[in-house]
Each structure stands twice: as structure tokens, then as C-alpha cells.
């Protein structure tokens, strides 16, 4: 479970995150939705301990990121916005490197990587150098790397960004599988259809604040909108949103 309490982060005059609180539960997919510049990536970066909040708390399975950042990182799998693979290394070497950083022994590393290769259908690329990988191949490798230590909580920043139709469908199916395994899945997206189809709960962020937090159907009902996109426009358009 991921819990965010009254998170703040400013860059000079820009209040990127201005009092964000929400809970992402185990066995659920939580979507972080918001217009460009709303503060989604900044929130996620503070969650996975890449950035220190000015104020507020991040708790992962009850562990405070400010007190035990290593403990939080052990419980998190992260697909960051910058996928950043080592191009000279093969997909396997990229994944194995992270597994070593997490302290996994050789036998566990081999079995975990084999399982991920099957789950993500990567057999054809696993021993190819990452240099020259397509966008989809890069994302698959980055996902495998994020999950190699079998984390209970998974954070994905725009996971289907740049993927083709088939790879997008595969990614969505994979996220549902993570949920069915009882993991806590938190992802950011701009794609309403994706959020509507996948999420148990949607946290809408605008101008660094949470302006709505509900199931997709509830958001539609609360706004009287026919689609999630219409609901989103109404929520973003109103001054206070639905749940300031
Ligand atoms: N390192 C930084 N230095 C200065 N300003 C930053 C930095 N990171 C983010 N910002 C600013 O903080 C605000 C929130 O940015 P953030 O990237 O979190 O938004 P986002 O919701 O992820 O947007 P997008 O959907 O466009 O990716 C923006 O105004 C952005 O310009």
C-alpha cells in the first residue's frame, strides 16, 4: 500500500505539488490523472525517493520514505518517465544488474529473469544489446528491470507512452495481472480510455492539488458526464474540483 500525506514540492516560484494526499491500495490499480504540468511526475518522483518533499510524508507498506528510504525502495518497482537503459548491455544484463543491486543471489536472479521473460514475451530480445531497441522493447526491458525483485508495490509513469496497439494491450493486460497478484499498482496516464478501463480509483491532480479521488464510474456520476473525458474536463474546469 502506498500512502501520500500532504506532500509539497516547489521549484522556485512554481508550486509543483501543493498538498497532495491519497492512498493506493493493494490489489487495486490507482490512476494518477491530470493535465500537463499538474505535478504527477513530481509526485511520483517523491514517492520513489528520487526527490525529497519540502513537506509531507510518503509511506509504503507503512514504512516512511524519510526514515527508511532503502526499505521503501525494496518494496517498490518503478518504471520511471526516463526509461534509461544501458545501451551497451543486453536486456538480460540490464535486468540482472538491477537484480544484483537488490542483492538477489544468482539462482534467484536466473529464475526471476526467466519468469519475467515469459510474462513479458521477451525471449527474442533478452540477449540482444539494448542499443537499437524499439520503444516497446525498451519499455519491456525497463518493466522487467523494475519488477526483478518481486516488489509488492509498482509505480509506472505513463507506461504505454510511445507503445503501438499490440504493445499497449500487452502492457494493460500485464498491469491487470499485477493487480490480480494482489500488488498495489499506481500509474500516471493521459489516456482516458486506459484509465477508465484499468483503474479501480482515479486521483485527479490539477495545479499541484488533488481535485477528485473516486472510482471512474463515481466520477462520471458525480459530474453527470457521459464519459470519463467529459468528467475530467468538468473537474479540471471547476475552481475547486470535487474533493479539494
Ligand atoms: N526539476 C524541475 N525544475 C523546475 N521546475 C520543475 C521541475 N520539475 C517539474 N517542474 C515544474 O513543476 C510542475 C509540475 O511538473 P510535473 O512534471 O510534475 O507535471 P506532470 O503532471 O507530470 O506533467 P506532464 O503531464 O506534462 O508530464 C511544472 O510546472 C514543471 O515545469
- Residue nearest ligand 1's atom 2 by CA: 11
Same domain, 141 and 205: no
The predicted pLDDT at position 169 comes to 84
Same domain, 68 and 90: no
Same domain, 160 and 71: yes
- Residue nearest ligand 1's atom 7 by CA: 11
The predicted pLDDT at position 105 comes to 95
CATH code (residue 205): 3.40.50.300
Residue 58 Ramachandran class (φ > 0 left, ψ -120 to 50 alpha, else beta): beta
Residue 80 within any structural domain of the chain:
no
Cα-Cα-Cα-Cα dihedral sign, residues 29, 34, 39, 45: positive
The strand pair at 184-189 and 153-157 is best described as: parallel
Same domain, 57 and 158: yes
Same domain, 168 and 241: yes
The label of the residue with cell 511526475 reads 41
Distance, CA of 142 to CA of 138 (rounded, Å): 6
Measure 35 CA to ligand 1 centroid, in angstroms.
11
Same domain, 125 and 199: no
Atom of ligand 1 nearest to the CA of 205: 21
Same domain, 184 and 206: yes
Question: Shortest CA distance to 187 belongs to which of 228, 178, 57?
Answer: 178
Q: Phi, psi at residue 183, to the nearest 5°?
A: -80, 160
- Residue nearest ligand 1's atom 26 by CA: 36
Global pTM?
0.89
Residue 179 within any structural domain of the chain:
yes
Element (H, E) at 58: strand 55-60
Measure 177 CA to ligand 1 centroid, in angstroms.
30
Burial (Cβ within 10 Å: 0-12, 13-18, ≥19) of residue 54: middle
Mutate to test the pocket of ligand 1, among 40, 48, 51, 189 (most ligand atoms within 8 A of CB): 40
Question: Alpha carbon 222 to chain centroid distance?
Answer: 26
Atom of ligand 1 nearest to the CA of 35: 25
Same domain, 170 and 242: yes
Query: What's the number of domains the chain is made of?
Result: 2
Mutate to test the pocket of ligand 1, among 35, 41, 44, 205 (most ligand atoms within 8 A of CB): 41
Rounded to the nearest 10 degrees, what angle do helices 106-119 and 91-101 cross at?
A: 130
Residue 219 within any structural domain of the chain:
yes
Same domain, 158 and 142: no
Measure 10 CA to ligand 1 centroid, in angstroms.
10
User: Final residue of a domain: which of 124, 150, 176?
Assistant: 150
What ipTM is given for this predicted complex? 0.96
Domain extent for 199: 1-75+152-244
CA distances from 121 to 115, 130, 144, 235 (A): 10, 16, 11, 39
Mutate to test the pocket of ligand 1, among 8, 9, 14 (most ligand atoms within 8 A of CB): 14
CA 220-44-2 angle, to 5 degrees, is: 75
pLDDT by residue for the chain (244 residues), tens digit each?
999 999 999 999 999 999 999 999 999 999 999 988 999 999 999 999 999 999 999 999 999 999 999 999 999 999 887 678 999 999 999 999 999 998 999 999 999 999 999 888 899 999 999 999 988 889 889 999 999 998 999 999 888 887 788 778 888 888 999 999 999 999 998 888 889 889 999 999 999 999 999 999 999 999 999 999 999 989 988 644 454 3
CA 87-89-92 angle, to 5 degrees, is: 125
Same domain, 169 and 133: no
Give the three-class secondary structure for 217: helix
Same domain, 52 and 172: yes
The predicted pLDDT at position 167 comes to 79
The predicted pLDDT at position 161 comes to 83
Same domain, 171 and 240: yes
Amino acid at each position: 500500500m502506498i500512502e501520500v500525506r500532504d506532500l509539497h514540492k516547489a521549484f522556485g516560484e512554481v508550486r509543483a505539488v501543493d498538498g497532495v494526499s491519497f492512498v493506493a491500495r493493494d490489489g487495486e490499480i490507482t490512476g494518477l490523472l491530470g493535465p500537463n504540468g499538474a505535478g504527477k511526475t513530481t509526485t511520483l518522483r517523491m514517492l520513489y525517493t528520487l526527490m525529497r518533499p519540502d513537506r509531507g510524508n510518503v509511506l509504503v507498506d507503512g514504512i516512511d520514505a524519510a526514515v527508511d528510504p532503502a526499505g521503501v525502495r525494496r518494496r517498490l518497482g518503478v518504471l520511471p518517465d526516463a526509461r534509461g537503459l544501458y545501451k551497451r548491455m543486453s536486456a538480460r544484463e540490464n535486468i540482472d544488474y538491477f537484480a544484483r543491486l537488490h542483492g538477489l543471489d544468482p539462482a534467484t536472479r536466473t529464475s526471476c529473469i526467466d519468469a519475467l521473460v515469459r510474462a513479458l514475451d521477451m525471449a527474442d530480445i533478452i540477449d540482444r544489446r539494448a542499443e537499437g531497441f524499439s520503444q516497446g522493447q525498451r519499455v519491456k526491458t525497463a518493466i522487467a528491470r523494475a519488477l526483478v525483485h518481486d516488489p509488492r508495490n509498482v509505480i509506472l509513469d505513463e507506461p504505454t507512452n510511445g507503445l503501438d496497439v499490440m504493445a499497449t494491450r500487452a502492457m494493460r493486460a500485464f498491469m491487470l495481472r499485477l493487480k490480480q497478484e494482489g500488488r498495489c499498482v499506481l500509474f500516471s496516464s493521459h489516456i482516458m480510455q486506459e484509465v477508465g478501463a484499468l483503474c479501480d480509483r482515479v486521483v485527479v491532480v490539477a495545479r499541484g492539488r488533488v481535485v477528485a479521488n473516486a472510482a471512474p464510474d463515481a466520477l462520471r456520476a458525480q459530474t453527470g458526464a457521459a464519459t470519463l473525458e467529459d468528467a475530467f474536463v468538468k473537474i479540471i474546469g471547476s475552481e475547486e474540483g470535487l474533493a479539494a
